[in-house]
Amino acid sequence: MKTGIFVGGKFVDTGSKIVSISPSTEEPISEVSVAEGKFIEEALNYAWESRKKKVEKSKFIKLKEILIEHVEEISELIAIEQGKPIAEAITAEIYPSLSAIDFLLEKGEQILEAREMVPHEPLFKNREARLFLEPYGILFLISPSNYPFVIPFINIIMAVYTGMPVIFRPSKLTPLIGLKIGELFQEAGFPEHVLQILITEHDDVERILRDRRVSTVIFTGSVSVGRRIAQIAGESLKKPILELGGNDVMLVLEDANIQRAAAGAVWGAFMNAGQTCASIERILVHKNLKEKLVSLMKEKMSMLKVGNPLEADTDLGPLVSKQQKEKVMKHMKEAEEKGAMKIVSQTPIPEKGYFLAPHIFLDVPVNTKIWEEETFGPVVAIKDFENEKEAIELANSSNYALTSSIWTENKKRAWEIAQKLEVGTVTINDHISSFVEPSAPWGGFKWSGIGRVHGEAGLREFLQIKYVMGDFSKRKTLFWWFNYSKKKVEILNATLKFIYGRGKLKAGLKLLPHIPRLAKELGIFNLFSTIGKLFGI
């Protein structure tokens, strides 16, 4: 297992270290090197040298092959260092990563290729125009601990595909998983400059972000830190792409398949121990179904196994850190103190490690943290509603707006409600799963962030638009250039009214005496294009 920072295509040990702790055992896994000043500068220099340099497709094909070969090893590392059960490490971390490579190989060239543009302005009809997409400078990627492999991996391959070098800062809670991505790139033979991986202290995050060579930052994490990153980025007009979490709502309508809704609620709320930005944190259920939904959820919760994430039949692993567990427990305590009723799964949990049993809270006041904020644990709050209007208003009342889900057997109603929900993604009779679809953009409204990742929309976030228009006619001057005169103003006014005004016949008669000069100045093709406007051609 490589534990040095990844700079210039090599793993480098430094004098400064941190310790990676297993959330399941609370025991050290390994020491990991932390980047010091000179290594940060080296990384920036390496990255700067490779800007706008494309990597051949064969490297991405090789990367996919290597990732498949290392599925067991990587999924076990994710289970050990992050605490995600093996099954989820495969389905939620590795599977989407492979799918994203396939998407790039199939669609990437088509998305990035220059586009021929046909000028709309009739005076420019003889010109050639093209739209080019060019990568920004260096991407600074600051990644979270809840999805320590898939989130950085997809962003890295998409940026590198466009020709954008990446400096990747993994979470200090999951540094080994971040460094594993460097091993894969090294083994696949990617150029040494395209990816640098630095474990850094918080002060050095700001230093990298402020560097003039960094043009774009992707951050996934809390709203407070996201605001700070956006503030720093704004000082030098860097582009921030921010995914700042969610307080996602599940709408269970009166005609929902209640068995499916209950199973989906338990999975959507508790997978990854609730540490998913798109976890179901609020359930709004029609009052006629509330009792049945809660009963079924309790039954399904009792069958969940909480324990060692390395065991294939484990459903819930630990929270990623002691601090996260304490935060969740604080949210739960406040909800109880304010009158919410707690239902806890009776499944046994290990004594050691940052484990928590799944919890449901009923009749939760809207002024509790569990209802208003992102708890990020195996906790879900349930409220009932009487009508669709009330449900939509409650759903949209949150400051967070990442994803939501609608549960109904009425397709027409589902599509109508989906358009009324103020979120970045809506799924129907499912939750979260659009994250795995490589063509689907990912991102939210309101406090949930700015910009998008994944798919064509995500790929375009790394690209600047360059418009090029060429006039290859033999004319030595153009009509609207110097020198200006009274006669030229008359012609311009008549031309403008002829093209865009209502009284085209009257304007045309005024323009008629100037046709010979316009033919000479504009060119016959442009002149006929201008006249064609009169007939809608």
Report yes or no: 230 and 153 within 8 Å, Cβ to Cβ.
no
- The single-letter code of the amino acid at 321 is S
Domain borders along the chain are 11-244+457-465, 248-438, 486-535
pLDDT of residue 268: 98
Q: Quick one: average pLDDT of 187-198? A: 97
Q: Quick one: average pLDDT of 271-296? A: 98
CATH of 248-438, one of 3.30.479.10, 3.40.309.10, 3.10.20.90, 2.60.120.650: 3.40.309.10
Query: Of the listed 81, 93, 183, 243, which one is catalytic?
Result: 243
pLDDT band for 300, please (50, 70, 90 cuts). very high
Has residue 533 got a pLDDT over 60?
no
pLDDT of residue 524: 61
Has residue 503 got a pLDDT over 80?
no
30-39, 41-50, 51-60, 508-517: least confidently modelled range: 508-517
Q: Quick one: average pLDDT of 483-510? A: 83
* pTM reported for the whole predicted model: 0.94
Active site residue 277: yes
* Mean pLDDT across the chain: 94
How far is the CA of 78 from the CAs of 147, 186, 284, 287, in angstroms? 9, 20, 33, 40
Query: Of the listed 183, 277, 281, 374, which one is catalytic?
Result: 277
pLDDT band for 499, please (50, 70, 90 cuts). confident
| Share of the chain residues as helix, strand and coil, in percent rounded to the nearest 5 | 45, 20, 35
73-87, 185-199, 322-336, 484-498: least confidently modelled range: 484-498
How would you class 60 by CB atoms within 10 Å of its CB: exposed for 0-12, middle for 13-18, buried for 19 or more? buried
Q: What is the DSSP string of 337-406?
A: HTTPEEEE------SSSS----EEEES--TTSHHHHS---SSEEEEEEESSHHHHHHHHHTSSEESEEEE
pLDDT of residue 518: 72
pLDDT band for 431, please (50, 70, 90 cuts). very high
* Residue 533: strand pairing partners: none
Has residue 528 got a pLDDT over 80?
no
DSSP state of 271: G
Q: Quick one: average pLDDT of 494-503? A: 81
User: Rg for the chain (alpha carbons), in Å?
Assistant: 28
pLDDT of residue 35: 97
In whole angstroms, give the CA distance from residue 415 to residue 87.
Answer: 32
Active site residue 374: no
pLDDT of residue 443: 97
Check residues 506 and 135 and name the one with the higher pLDDT.
135
Has residue 535 got a pLDDT over 60?
no
Convert the pLDDT of each residue in 265-277 to its tens digit. 999 999 999 999 9
How far is the CA of 477 from the CAs of 124, 126, 229, 481, 527, in angstroms? 14, 15, 49, 7, 16
Convert the pLDDT of each residue in 368-412 to its tens digit. 999 999 999 999 999 999 999 999 999 999 999 999 999 999 999
Has residue 340 got a pLDDT over 90?
yes
Q: Quick one: average pLDDT of 423-440? A: 96
State percent of the chain over pLDDT 90: 86
Please report which helix (H) or strand (E) contains residue 294, including its range. helix 290-301
pLDDT of residue 517: 77
28-32, 49-53, 361-365: least confidently modelled range: 49-53
pLDDT band for 531, please (50, 70, 90 cuts). low
CB count in 10 Å sphere of residue 238: 22
Is the CATH code 3.40.50.300 the one for domain 11-244+457-465? Answer: no
